[in-house]
Amino acid sequence: MKDDIGFQPLLDDDDDDDDSPAVEPLEPTEEPGEGEEGEEGKDDDEDDDEDKSEKKGAPSGSMEERLLKSRTILIYGEIDMAVAQDVTRRLLVMDAESQDDIRIFINSPGGHVESGDTIFDMIRFVKSPVKVIGTGWVASAGALIYAAAELENRYSLPNTRFLLHQPAGGMSGQASDIAIEAQEILKMRRRLNEIFARQTGQSIEKVEGDTDRNFWMSAAQAKEYGLVGRIVENADEIQV
C-alpha cells in the first residue's frame, strides 16, 4: 500500500517525448471543518452556540421577572440562611417599589429556627401587606413564617398539612456548655409558643401542651385552631 493518498498525475505511456507539459497533480480539497476552518463558518457556529445559550437561560430569567412583577415569593424546601437572605432581599425590593400586596407561597418541612425568625420579622417589618398561602406541608419553622401574616391574610390550599412542635437541638461538649444550650432551647421553645399563642388566639398553656409532641393539623383543623384564616381552592378566592 502506498503512503501517499493524494491523486497521482495522469501520464500518457506512448508519448514519453511529448513536449506538452505534464498534468499537475490534483491537491485534495479540504472540506469545511477539516484542517483550517473558514472564519465565516467558525463565526456562524459561535453565534449559533451563543443563541442557544441565551435561549436556554431565557425561561429562568423570564420566570424570575414575572415573579417579581407579580410580587410573588416562593418558599419551598428547607429553610436556612440562604433562603432567609433571598426572601429578605425580595421583600425589601418589592416593598421599595410600592406598598401593594405581596404573596408568599410556603411549602416547607421547616429548618433553621433563626432563619425562620428572620423571615417572620421581615414579613412584619415591610409596609406592604403580606398574604401567605400554605401548600403541601407547612411545618416547624415553615409554620412560624406562615403565622407572621395577619389572620385574614393567611390562606391555605385544601390538602395542606401543618405541623407545630418544640424545637430540638444536638448538643455536645462540656457539661456546663450543654446546660447553657439546654436553657437556650427552653427559652426558644417558650418564645415560639408565645408567638403561636398570640397569632392563633390559643392560650399559652394549650400551645405548650399541643407542641410537647408533633402536633399535626389538616387545613380544616388549622383553621379551627386559628392558624389558618381561610381555605381556598383557586386564586380568585384570595382577596385583593
Catalytic residue list: 140, 165
Most distant pair of Cα atoms in the chain: their distance: 120
Name the strand (E) or helix (H) holding 125: helix 113-125
| Phi, psi at 150, each rounded to 5° | -65, 155
Contact 223, 200 (CB under 8 A): no
Nearest-CA neighbor of 106 among 138, 82, 80? 138
In 83-211, the DSSP E strands lie at: 102-108, 130-139, 154-156, 161-164
165 grid coordinates: 412542635
The phi, psi pair for 192, rounded to 5°, reads -65, -40
